[in-house]
Chains A and B, each alone.
Chain A
Amino acid sequence: MSLLRVCAFTSKRLNTQLLFVDLSFAGCLRTASGAAKDKEPLRKAKTPQGRFDMDDEKPKDPLQKFPDDVNPATKEQGGPRGPEPTRYGDWERKGRCVDF
């Protein structure tokens, strides 16, 4: 890996050489990952911190964007995503009250 970086910094003339290096390194990586697949990935605790570290558990944003950013019910363009923030009498977003 570090060799790759050094190549990148040196010169443009080395581009072709870079490609060769790239291919050979890719080959190395494939074999390396093949070996790594046997081992279990490190588990992190199910703490909030641990949860957010794991990419596969990353929650999708609960507030979906409207098509074309136009709210179908009120025809508002560029307005807040998700249900109407003032529906409970205060300004709500993701369960948080930001103004009342």
Chain B
Amino acid sequence: MAAVCIASRVLTKKVLSSKALPAVSQSSRKLHFSIYGKSNAKVSDGISTQYPVVDHEFDAVVVGAGGAGLRAAFGLSEAGFNTACVTKLFPTRSHTVAAQGGINAALGNMENDDWRWHFYDTVKGSDWLGDQDAIHYMTEQAPHAVVELENFGMPFSRTDDGKIYQRAFGGQSLKYGKGGQAHRCCCVADRTGHSLLHTLYGRSLRYDTSYFVEYFALDLLMEDGEMGPSTASGPRTQSSPLLWLTYSGSCTSAHTSTGDGNAMVTRAGLPCQDLEFVQFHPTGIYGAGCLITEGCRGEGGILINSEGERFMERYAPNAKDLASRDVVSRSITIEIREGRGCGPEKDHAYLQLHHLPPQQLATRLPGISETAMIFAGVDVTKEPIPVLPTVHYNMGGIPTNYKGQVITHTPEEGDKVVPGLFACGEAACASVHGANRLGANSLLDLVVFGRACAHTITDICTPGEKLSPLKPNAGEESVANLDRLRFANGSLRTSEIRLNMQKTMQNHAAVFRTGKVLKEGCDKMDAVYQTLDDIKTFDRGIVWNTDLVETLELQNLMLNAVQTINSAEQRQESRGAHSREDFKDREDEYDYTKPLAGQQRKPIEQHWRKHTLSTVDPKTGKVTLKYRPVIDNSLDAEDCAAVPPAIRSY
């Protein structure tokens, strides 16, 4: 069955956002590929006769069509660039659609507000690991971005006099933390992300962006350290809804969020930043990937272990089940580690609500019985809900500056821009979230930096600029990898290797992190990484080969996972979402619990207020870690003073 697969090389400047996507394959028809009648695609046999390569030329390519990708794509099209958007899912199916929360902006509709207060809140929320120039940019642009979205047609909820309604959420305060709660969160009924995505997609159809839907981006092609073309290909596929395509055992991301952007950048030899900062929620439904609200515990729900004991009384005698999220997450993890987990594999805890009167549940938490039935299959008035700490967001990603340009770092030269490559969205790390993301800030991150990338590209480049010609064999490693995986005949299936990786990560790099556990995890992950050589795939076909695409995604997940666990093992402090039992304090250049006068400033090698930059050798799985200082100055010291580090307490 000599089927033919088309690999497309899409030539131009790349914008990486969200995650990458799969491509259409052809049967053995006469090959031609034209988009909107523009036949600028050239087919070549340069790499392999089995896989003819189709070259497309565009001014700009956006990989990923989530909130950030769509915003960047049509921003570029609007500016006159011939833009392509490569996406492995249909744009309105990207994970942004699941973001039901709101979007923060200092519009000042409910009370007097100032973006500089939002700036302060975000810097503090990031535990002083966020780059203050990027945070300054984001919070200053927030009102413009939200008003722009509203002008695009996003139906925000309104006050009586027609202004956008804002509510209190996500650690926002007035007057630099001294003026009480701020109301900054704008929303669209209960589906802000869904509405955002549909608004942006609808808007993007006004411009002639070429969409390559269900194309899987394989690799970035770098030439002499500069961003050359990128290669996208692969048979069309759909991720199976029954499988967990994530590197944690339990997480809320879609099955298609597989860290493709980070992995492509890693394979290109560039570093990823701060991957150890992963945000957990203590009560995610076991096996389902959605979170149960803290309100359940607030209304009287209790957490129990396999012995039926209310174990929170031991860990937090006063607050009990209402202790803070990280305490609860750690307690559940410790119970599971010590063998008192529930279920056949003893790997989760129970959240009991059936001791509460059903009327109270129905009035205070409407909809919870439906949620519990759909996701956990339990009747909440009779049985407890199985829960365990679940990954919700990854603060780390591809390092960029505040303009969205991807950067590398050397101690001699400092931050250096990688020409031609930009990143935005959850895949990037600007870094505005630092060590901990505040609620309702991530949707803001998407639109502001998607827009920033589009503006930067418009400033730097001109549409129709001629590119240097591509080497005829560029992309051959990607095609070779594809071919190797397609005919892989080892002994372990993709699903088995993935399960091993997820279990290792959930057991060793979850909420409970100590040196010993992390070191064990690093060694186990290394072993799991080596088993990738022994992988076995079953589907040799070229059309709708889900096996092949899942294997490609597994490779991407592995690269992310090894970086996460190695970075976590090295970072010997507790900051934001990364908390270690053996190093419970934050280690900064000064000890901020005491007055600064008379303290010696520690050199960067001796403290931890710095970004981790991790690189991986894809052949061996060996992780190398370097560090980069945090940017502590805002864009304009007079307009907005930078916030000096302090102890983070609320």
B92-129 contacts to A, CB under 8 A, are: 98-102
Decide if A9 is an interface residue (CB 8 Å cutoff).
Answer: no
Stretch at the interface among B157-165, B485-493, B532-540, B611-619: B157-165
A8, B640: Cα distance in complex, Å: 72
Decide if A97 is an interface residue (CB 8 Å cutoff).
Answer: yes
Closest Cβ of chain B to A49, distance in Å, is 9
Selected from B188, B368, B377, the residue in CB contact (under 8 A) with A94 is: B368
A84, B295: Cα distance in complex, Å: 12
Q: Are A100 and B281 in contact (CB under 8 A)?
A: yes
Q: Are B439 and A76 in contact (CB under 8 A)?
A: no
Q: Which residues of A contact B159 (CB under 8 A)?
A: 75-77
Contact (A98, B281) CB under 8 Å given A78-B155, A93-B190, A93-B367: no
Q: Are B165 and A76 in contact (CB under 8 A)?
A: yes
Selected from A75, A76, A88, the residue in CB contact (under 8 A) with B298 is: A88
Q: Which residues of B contact A67 (CB under 8 A)?
A: none
Q: Are B292 and A95 in contact (CB under 8 A)?
A: yes
Q: Which residues of B contact A88 (CB under 8 A)?
A: 293-295, 298
Closest Cβ of chain B to A31, distance in Å, is 40
Q: Which residues of A contact B281 (CB under 8 A)?
A: 97, 100
Closest Cβ of chain A to B154, distance in Å, is 11
Decide if B167 is an interface residue (CB 8 Å cutoff).
Answer: yes
A66-86 contacts to B, CB under 8 A, are: 74-86
Closest Cβ of chain B to A59, distance in Å, is 6
Decide if B156 is an interface residue (CB 8 Å cutoff).
Answer: yes
Q: Which residues of B contact A85 (CB under 8 A)?
A: 190
Contact (A78, B157) CB under 8 Å given A97-B292, A99-B439: yes
Decide if A22 is an interface residue (CB 8 Å cutoff).
Answer: no
Closest Cβ of chain B to A54, distance in Å, is 14
Q: Which residue of A80, A81, A98, A99 has the most chain B CB atoms within 10 A of its CB atom?
A: A99
Contact (A83, B366) CB under 8 Å given A76-B159, A77-B158: yes
Decide if B65 is an interface residue (CB 8 Å cutoff).
Answer: no
Contact (A91, B366) CB under 8 Å given A96-B292, A98-B99: no
Q: Which residues of A contact B647 (CB under 8 A)?
A: none
Nearest B residue to A87 via CB reads B295
Decide if A53 is an interface residue (CB 8 Å cutoff).
Answer: no
A99, B441: Cα distance in complex, Å: 10
Closest Cβ of chain B to A99, distance in Å, is 3
Closest Cβ of chain B to A84, distance in Å, is 8
Task: Fill in one digit per residue for B132-157: 1 if any A CB lies within 8 Å of its CB, else 0.
Answer: 00000000000000000000000111
A83, B365: Cα distance in complex, Å: 8
Task: Fill in one digit per residue for B272-302: 1 if any A CB lies within 8 Å of its CB, else 0.
Answer: 0000000001010000001111111010000
Q: Are B187 and A80 in contact (CB under 8 A)?
A: yes
Closest Cβ of chain A to B7, distance in Å, is 38
Q: Are B190 and A76 in contact (CB under 8 A)?
A: no
Decide if B470 is an interface residue (CB 8 Å cutoff).
Answer: no
Q: Which residues of B contact A81 (CB under 8 A)?
A: 189-190
Q: Which residues of B contact A75 (CB under 8 A)?
A: 159-160
Selected from B157, B188, B293, the residue in CB contact (under 8 A) with A96 is: B293
A47, B407: Cα distance in complex, Å: 54
Q: Are B367 and A95 in contact (CB under 8 A)?
A: yes
Decide if B372 is an interface residue (CB 8 Å cutoff).
Answer: yes
Q: Which residues of B contact A100 (CB under 8 A)?
A: 281, 291, 294, 325, 392, 439
Nearest A residue to B284 via CB reads A97
Provide the main secondary structure of the chain A interface: loop
Decide if A62 is an interface residue (CB 8 Å cutoff).
Answer: yes
B163-211 contacts to A, CB under 8 A, are: 165, 167-170, 185, 187-190
Closest Cβ of chain A to B415, distance in Å, is 31
Q: Which residues of B contact A76 (CB under 8 A)?
A: 157-159, 165
Contact (A63, B366) CB under 8 Å given A76-B157, A86-B168, A97-B281: yes
Decide if B6 is an interface residue (CB 8 Å cutoff).
Answer: no
A77, B187: Cα distance in complex, Å: 11
Q: Which residues of B contact A91 (CB under 8 A)?
A: 100-102, 169, 439-440
Closest Cβ of chain A to B562, distance in Å, is 28
Task: Fill in one digit per residue for B532-576: 1 if any A CB lies within 8 Å of its CB, else 0.
Answer: 000000000000000000000000000000000000000000000
Decide if B35 is an interface residue (CB 8 Å cutoff).
Answer: no
Q: Which residues of B contact A84 (CB under 8 A)?
A: 167
Q: Which residues of A contact B458 (CB under 8 A)?
A: none
Q: Are B294 and A82 in contact (CB under 8 A)?
A: no
Q: Which residues of B contact A63 (CB under 8 A)?
A: 366-367
Selected from B155, B291, B364, the residue in CB contact (under 8 A) with A98 is: B291
Q: Which residues of A contact B369 (CB under 8 A)?
A: 62, 95
Q: Are B169 and A92 in contact (CB under 8 A)?
A: no
Q: Which residues of A contact B185 (CB under 8 A)?
A: 86
Decide if A41 is an interface residue (CB 8 Å cutoff).
Answer: no
Decide if B520 is an interface residue (CB 8 Å cutoff).
Answer: no
Q: Which residues of A contact B440 (CB under 8 A)?
A: 91, 99
Nearest B residue to A83 via CB reads B366
A59, B325: Cα distance in complex, Å: 32
Q: Which residues of B contact A48 (CB under 8 A)?
A: 373-374, 377
Nearest A residue to B161 via CB reads A75
A63, B187: Cα distance in complex, Å: 17
Contact (A95, B160) CB under 8 Å given A79-B165, A79-B189: no
Q: Which residues of B contact A89 (CB under 8 A)?
A: 294
Q: Are A59 and B370 in contact (CB under 8 A)?
A: yes
Selected from A51, A77, A90, the residue in CB contact (under 8 A) with B439 is: A90
Q: Which residue of B187, B290, B293, B364 has the most chain A CB atoms within 10 A of its CB atom?
A: B293
Q: Which residue of A82, A83, A100 has the most chain B CB atoms within 10 A of its CB atom?
A: A100
Q: Which residues of B contact A87 (CB under 8 A)?
A: 295
Decide if B239 is an interface residue (CB 8 Å cutoff).
Answer: no
Closest Cβ of chain A to B126, distance in Å, is 16
Q: Are B296 and A95 in contact (CB under 8 A)?
A: yes
Selected from B296, B362, B439, the residue in CB contact (under 8 A) with A62 is: B362
Q: Are A92 and B295 in contact (CB under 8 A)?
A: yes
Closest Cβ of chain B to A66, distance in Å, is 11
Minimum-distance CB pairs A-B, first 3: A94-B367, A99-B101, A95-B368
A-B contact pairs, 9 of them (CB 8 A): A48-B373, A77-B160, A79-B165, A80-B157, A88-B294, A91-B101, A94-B370, A98-B98, A98-B100
User: Assuming A76-B158, A89-B294, what are 15 further A-B pairs, CB within 8 angstroms?
Assistant: A59-B370, A76-B165, A77-B157, A78-B157, A82-B367, A86-B167, A86-B185, A88-B295, A95-B292, A95-B293, A96-B291, A98-B100, A99-B102, A99-B170, A100-B439
